Amino acid sequence: MESLKKNADFKNCYQTGRSFVNRYLVIYLCGNGQEKNRFGISVSKKVGNSVVRHRTVRLIREVCRLHEEEFAGGYDIVFVARVRAKGISYFRMEHALMQLAAKAGILKEK
């Protein structure tokens, strides 16, 4: 799993990509011209203190890691946690993320 690190990559995804929203997450999606996906995660201070924010990042990263083979390749994907994501369970985060991925059309056909 490769991650987005540069601010320019995040900005490019925000400005040129499409966005999809649900109760807990926002996904920004844009093509990257490669065969693999790159993931970025953003959690605002509005969500909580550093412990809460880091737990939210770990939840999103773990869901991405476990479901990485289900995503179609060639995208830069930025996950932005909304304030309601504070303190939710792993299973609720997994459901929200996979629901958004399906809505965005980035899941492989089975």
Domains of the chain, by residue range, sit at: 2-104
pLDDT, mean of residues 68-86: 93
Phi, psi of 48 (to 5 degrees): 160, -170
Look up residue 62 and give its two tokens: 């773990």
Cα dihedral sign, 62-70-77-21: negative
Assign domain 2-104 to its CATH architecture: 2-Layer Sandwich (3.30)
110 band by pLDDT with thresholds 50, 70 and 90: low
Global pTM value: 0.92
3-state secondary structure of 2: strand
pLDDT of residue 109: 77
Residue 46: count of CB within 10 angstroms of its CB: 10
pLDDT of residue 1: 79
Q: Is the pLDDT of residue 13 over 90?
A: yes
Q: How far is CA 40 from CA 27, 60, 109, 110, in A?
A: 10, 10, 24, 26
pLDDT of residue 65: 94
Q: What is the pLDDT of residues 21-65, one digit of tens each?
A: 999 999 999 998 888 999 999 999 999 999 999 999 999 999 999
State how far the Cα of 44 lies from the Cα of 101, in Å rounded to an integer: 21
Q: What percent of the chain has pLDDT over 90?
A: 89
State how far the Cα of 60 lies from the Cα of 43, in Å rounded to an integer: 10
